[in-house]
């Protein structure tokens, strides 16, 4: 028994009807090949790392199926996405899974599941100073402590006469 999964990236404006159309077409092709679908999940809408076909966002779907013989099934699925569902499915990836492997994934929350934050709470947090600015200093201490440590480390192992620094202007004045 071979187990496969298909990760599909759909357009961000996909409707419920188009989603059902996607699922039914995939189900029909898999059933015709005498295979069975294990699951069909809508993962949700996510911001993409880079634009794909001029879309900054996309909706992910994950379908898993099992089959005894693979034959032309994968080619038919690829053709389905390229011909019939070209306006819905932006990208797809078919992967063969280990038959004994787990089917659970930990995925980040989608934009639809992410908690919304009120603008007024954001403004009060930023005005009260509860938001940290920049990177954490960790064990480095404050800036004055950093400068003091840097000047002390510059003079370690040098003689006292090396500690005196004369600028060009002071040298000209002392020569006159």
CATH fold, domain 2-91, is: Alpha-Beta Plaits (3.30.70)
pLDDT value of position 99: 76
Strand partners of residue 60: 9, 44
- Rounded Cα–Cα distance for residues 161 and 128 (Å): 50
pLDDT value of position 4: 92
**pLDDT at 33 > cutoff 70:** yes
pLDDT value of position 5: 93
What pLDDT band is residue 13 in, cutting at 50, 70 and 90?
A: very high
- pTM here? 0.61
pLDDT value of position 23: 94
Residue keyed to tokens 């295979």: 35
**Which has more confidence, 110 or 80?**
80
**pLDDT, tens digit (0-9, with 9 covering 90-100), for 112-131:** 776 666 666 656 665 665 55
pLDDT value of position 21: 94
Cα dist from 93 to 7, 32, 45, 90, whole Å: 5, 21, 17, 11
- Rounded Cα–Cα distance for residues 154 and 4 (Å): 62
**pLDDT, tens digit (0-9, with 9 covering 90-100), for 118-173:** 666 656 665 665 555 555 555 556 666 666 666 665 555 544 444 455 555 555 55
């Amino acid at each position: 028994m071979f187990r496969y999964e298909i990760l599909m990236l759909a357009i961000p404006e996909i409707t419920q009807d188009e989603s059902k159309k996607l699922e039914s077409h995939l189900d029909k092709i898999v059933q015709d090949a005498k295979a069975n679908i294990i699951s069909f999940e809508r993962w949700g809408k996510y911001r993409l790392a880079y634009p794909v076909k001029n879309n900054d966002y996309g909706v992910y779907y994950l379908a898993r199926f099992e089959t005894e013989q693979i034959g032309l099934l994968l080619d038919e699925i690829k053709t389905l996405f390229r011909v019939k569902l070209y306006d819905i499915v932006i990208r797809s990836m078919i992967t063969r899974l280990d038959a004994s492997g787990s089917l659970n994934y930990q995925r980040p929350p989608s934009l639809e599941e992410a908690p919304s934050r009120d603008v007024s709470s954001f403004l009060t947090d930023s005005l009260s100073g509860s938001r940290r600015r920049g990177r954490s200093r960790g064990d480095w201490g404050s800036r004055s402590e950093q400068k003091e440590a840097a000047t002390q480390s510059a003079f370690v192992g040098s003689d006292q006469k090396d500690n005196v620094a004369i600028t060009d202007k002071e040298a000209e004045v002392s020569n006159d």
